[in-house]
Chain A
Amino acid sequence: MAEVNTGDDGGGKKKHGKKRAKKSSTRIDMTPMVDLGFLLLTFFILTTTFNKPQAMEINMPVKDKIEDEKKNKVPAEHTLSLLLTDKNVVYWYFGVADPSKPLPSLTKTNYSKDGIRKLLITENNKRHNAFNQIEQWKKELAEKKITEDEFIEKKKVFHKQYAISSLIVLLKPDKDSNYKNIVDALDEMAICNIGSYALLESNDLENQMIANANTYK
Chain B
Amino acid sequence: MPKIKMPKNSPSIDMTPMVDLAFLLVTFFMLISQFRAEEAAVIDMPSSVSDLKIPDKDLMMILVDKKDHVFFTITGQETRKKVLEKMGEKYKVVFTEEQKKEFSNMASFGMPMSQMKEYLAAGSTERKKLQEKSNGIPTDSTACELCDWVYYGRLAAIKYRVAIKGDQESSYPTVRRVMDILQDKKVNRFNLITNMETGPTE
A contacts, CB < 8 Å to B: 30, 34, 37-38, 40-41, 44-45, 47-48, 51-63, 84, 111-113, 117, 173-184, 186-187, 190-191, 201
Interface residues on B, range: 35 or more
List the A residue with the shortest CB-CB distance to B50: A56
Measured in the bound complex, the distance between the Cα atoms of B163 and A74 in whole Å is 30
Residues from chain B with a CB closer than 8 A to the CB of A51 are 195-196
B173 and A187 contact, CB distance less than 8 A: no
A179 and B168 contact, CB distance less than 8 A: yes
A54 and B188 contact, CB distance less than 8 A: no
B25 and A183 contact, CB distance less than 8 A: no
Q: Is B176 an interface residue (CB 8 A)?
A: yes
| Interface 9-mer from B29-37, B124-132, B135-143, B144-152 | B29-37
Measured in the bound complex, the distance between the Cα atoms of B188 and A191 in whole Å is 23
A41 and B26 contact, CB distance less than 8 A: yes
Residues from chain B with a CB closer than 8 A to the CB of A53 are 45, 54, 165, 193-196
A180 and B175 contact, CB distance less than 8 A: no
Known: A53-B195, A63-B183. 8 other contacts (CB 8 A): A48-B32, A52-B53, A52-B54, A53-B193, A54-B53, A55-B53, A57-B192, A62-B188
Residue in B169, B172, B189, B200 whose beta carbon sits within 8 Å of that of A58 in the complex: B189
Residues from chain B with a CB closer than 8 A to the CB of A61 are 188
B contacts, CB < 8 Å to A: 15, 19, 22-23, 25-26, 29-30, 32-33, 35, 45-54, 64, 163, 165-173, 175-176, 179, 182-184, 186, 188-197, 200, 202
Residues from chain B with a CB closer than 8 A to the CB of A113 are 200, 202
Measured in the bound complex, the distance between the Cα atoms of B179 and A47 in whole Å is 33
B195 and A60 contact, CB distance less than 8 A: no
Residue in B30, B35, B50 whose beta carbon sits within 8 Å of that of A187 in the complex: B50
A187 and B49 contact, CB distance less than 8 A: yes
Measured in the bound complex, the distance between the Cα atoms of B47 and A45 in whole Å is 24
B194 and A55 contact, CB distance less than 8 A: yes
Residue in A60, A174, A190 whose beta carbon sits within 8 Å of that of B172 in the complex: A174
User: Given contacts A178-B168, A179-B170, are A44 and B194 in contact (CB under 8 A)?
Assistant: no
